[in-house]
Amino acid sequence: MEARKKLFLIYFMLAGSTFAQSFHNPSLNGAEETSTNLGEVESRENAPDLEFQYHDHDQMTRYLRAVSAKYPELTALYSIGKSVQGRDLWVMVVSVSPYEHMIGKPDVKYVANIHGNEAVGRELLLHLIQYLVTSYATDPYVKWLLDNTRIHLMPSMNPDGFAISREGQCDTIHGRHNARRHDLNRNFPDFFKANTKQPQPETEAVKQWISKIQFVLSGSLHGGALVASYPFDNTPSSMFQNYEHTPSISPDDDVFKHLSLVYSKNHAKMSRGVSCKSGSPRFENGITNGAAWYPLTGGMQDYNYLWHGCMEVTLEISCCKYPPAHELPKYWQDNKQSLIKYLAEVHRGAHGFVMDENNNPVERAAIKIKGRDVNYHTTNFGEFWRILLPGTYRMDISAEGYLPQEVEFIVIDSHPTLLNVTLRSAKRIDGGPYYRPLPPPPRAPPVPTPSTGIFASLTNSFNNMVSNFFG
């Protein structure tokens, strides 16, 4: 219970005063409660109006507040910080448990408009909010999703860039950057190369946010192409940047390809892989490895995955970055199914709890699937999630002060595998001599392959970096 309280507190710390305003504004709630007019009562059954038009920051803020007031059981609005020019970075949670993490159930997110002039994702997330809250009572699939998942939706990570962008501009970079002219999707720490860019407030807010909530799955919505682009965005060595279209393969390449295909195949046309215009690339099945398209340093998706074990895919959802508003209904229809089905993929694979002999959660235990050279960690409730395709896996679980364990398990297609692991303390409970874990059996040297070899050689430095970051 103590930990539960702690988490709840974190939300309030994260949310700051704007959060409190959204929920304890007596005039807003009062207006709702005192309404007796029949017409008004009827209108309360519908969501606040949401036109297919672009919403500036104030209009978006009003809409989000109205939804949170109308659907207090299903939504919570919080701000993770402010942009350079002081605009709130809003996040709307949609879930049957909007205020509190559901122990054993995953948190997922979409972030849109990191590039201020890529405007479609921003509006689509508002429509996704509208769709989820109005469908909960009638659509069993949406009900199941919201009953079992906390969905965090950030319509704009770059509200300052959006404020200077112009409707109808398809290909310019005007409005792409934040108010200090930084590209926020080049502003994250990078595993492959040192990122010397000055950290920006929008990026810092997101880093804080994803360090406090264990997100399992994420999508970053962009425009200017029609493709789902998956990690890695960057390459292990600058040498490789000389070769165009060289993929940078992550240890979870099969899973990332699958997630990307879920988006592209549920989209009205993404999987056809048609190029946006002559001269621009076409992508087979509408997906691509990020670096194979073009490598970049400081991107958000590699950071999510390597720092926090959150699988993020970059979703490029419109050939035109800021198309005319009358085209928005078409974009919503094209993406609606994809947006929902993609998030549901968080329920694929294995999840469970790591506990000690007394049934206390083991926090920050390292979870590693054999053959996948990337560490995931348990939450402060001892929870872990690992999205995996059907197959047989072995998993190493280790934590300081405990004997490491290895478990074998099977993942099937139809439902997730629940794995509860008990770690034995490395020390006798009665205070006697320490147990020493047995040294691991000698292993045959790994067979070098181009992809795992490159990654394996970086593992130690990565592990050091990660422990420094958290230590």
Catalytic center residues: 316
In 347-465, DSSP assigns E strands to 350-356, 366-369, 376-377, 383-386, 391-398, 405-411, 417-423
Tokens standing for residue 353: 């709890």
With contacts defined by CB under 5 A, name the span among 114-122, 156-164, 254-262, 429-437 that binds Zn ion: 114-122
> Number of residues in contact with Zn ion, rule: CB under 5 A?
3
Q: How far is the CB of 222 from Zn ion (least distance, A)?
A: 3
Query: CA–CA separation, 310 vs 297, rounded Å?
Result: 18
With contacts defined by CB under 5 A, name the span among 86-94, 102-110, 194-202, 221-229 that binds Zn ion: 221-229
Q: Please say which residue, 127 or 176, places its beta carbon nearer to Zn ion.
A: 176
Q: How far is the CB of 220 from Zn ion (least distance, A)?
A: 8
Q: How far is the CB of 320 from Zn ion (least distance, A)?
A: 13
Contact (CB, 8 A) for 115 and 161: yes
Q: Please say which residue, 317 or 466, places its beta carbon nearer to Zn ion.
A: 317
CA 244 to chain centre: 28
Q: Decide if residue 177 touches Zn ion (CB under 5 A).
A: no
Q: Please say which residue, 115 or 127, places its beta carbon nearer to Zn ion.
A: 115
Query: CA–CA separation, 298 vs 321, rounded Å?
Result: 21
Q: Decide if residue 321 touches Zn ion (CB under 5 A).
A: no
Q: How far is the CB of 118 from Zn ion (least distance, A)?
A: 5
Tokens standing for residue 168: 């109808």
| Residue 312: strand, helix, or coil | strand
With contacts defined by CB under 5 A, name the span among 110-118, 233-241, 259-267, 419-427 that binds Zn ion: 110-118
Closest CA to 388 of 258, 213, 287, 290: 258
The tokens 């310019």 sit on which residue?
A: 172
Tokens standing for residue 222: 């962009």
Q: Decide if residue 222 touches Zn ion (CB under 5 A).
A: yes
Q: Please say which residue, 130 or 158, places its beta carbon nearer to Zn ion.
A: 158
Q: How far is the CB of 223 from Zn ion (least distance, A)?
A: 6
Stretch (H or E) spanning 362: none
Q: Decide if residue 115 touches Zn ion (CB under 5 A).
A: yes
Q: Which residue is nearest to Zn ion (CB)?
A: 222
With contacts defined by CB under 5 A, name the span among 7-15, 108-116, 158-166, 426-434 that binds Zn ion: 108-116
Closest CA to 78 of 130, 21, 119, 27: 21
Q: Please say which residue, 118 or 160, places its beta carbon nearer to Zn ion.
A: 118
Q: Is the backbone peptide bond immediately before 240 cis, with ω within 30 degrees of 0?
A: no
Q: Which residues bind Zn ion (CB under 5 A)?
A: 115, 118, 222
